[in-house]
Amino acid sequence: MEIIDIIDTFDKSKKPTGKMKDLKPEPGIYCFYLKQHANLDRFGQGGQAIYLGVSLDLNGREINQHLKTGETGWSSFRRSIGAILKNRYKMTAERRDPPHVKKLRADKYKFDREGEVKITDWIISSTDFAYWISPNLLISKSELEKLELLLLKQVKPTLDLDRRTKHLNPLAADLDQLRKICREEVRSKSLL
């Protein structure tokens, strides 16, 4: 499979994220793009790819977490969007795990209830979703990740923090800094 063919499939499959329904439970690669009217400050303008991921089940839990209020602690995509929009929407970062869980995972933060709703609303109203289904239904996750690596280098999504390609994203340090603010907010609350 040529990378250009996958990108072409993204262009053909792209639809408003809010209308994304009934994806097949098959392995593939997906990409979120900003809608033409959308603006994510320095992290993207209309039409730009912002996030790329792989899934062994495009209709499964992984992708649904990106779109579900309250699931930010389980979605790097949502954590990045929330970190960028935090000041605009006056959101508060919180710990993902309940207080009885001893280990604090500040890197897996979520947002206050209103903030979670705002993130979901923003994603649905401001992004388009595209995907490619592997013709090899038995493809392994590691094989998908090899294709993902090549796509990350080509598509250059602005929210890319993948350890393999982060160094290629000129916005990675800025995004890391915004996410650090959220982590520090969670840590400071846990000391109270």
From residue 128, alpha-carbon distances to 12, 20, 48, 62, 78 in Å are 12, 9, 10, 17, 15
Instruction: Locate all alpha helices (DSSP H) within the chain, ordered by sequence.
Output: 3-13, 61-67, 76-85, 113-126, 141-155, 172-190
Amino acid at 160: D
Q: Output the pLDDT for position 76.
A: 93
Q: Output the pLDDT for position 56.
A: 94
Q: Which residue, 76, 87, 63, 61, is CA-closest to 110? A: 76
Quick one: what percent of the chain has pLDDT higher than 70? 98
Mapped onto helix, strand or coil, the DSSP state of residue 192 is coil
What are the two backbone dihedrals, phi and then psi, of residue 183, each rounded to the nearest 5 degrees? -60, -45
The average confidence (pLDDT) of the chain is: 91
Evaluate if residue 69 carries a pLDDT over 90: no
Evaluate if residue 48 carries a pLDDT over 90: yes
Evaluate if residue 134 carries a pLDDT over 80: yes
Taking residues 97-120, what's their average pLDDT?
86
Evaluate if residue 175 carries a pLDDT over 80: yes
Cβ-based neighbours of 45, under 8 Å, separated by 6 or more: 34, 38, 39
Evaluate if residue 86 carries a pLDDT over 80: yes
Using one digit for the tens of pLDDT, what is the confidence trace for 135-167? 999 999 999 999 999 999 999 999 999 898 899
Q: Output the pLDDT for position 1.
A: 63
Taking residues 62-83, what's their average pLDDT?
88
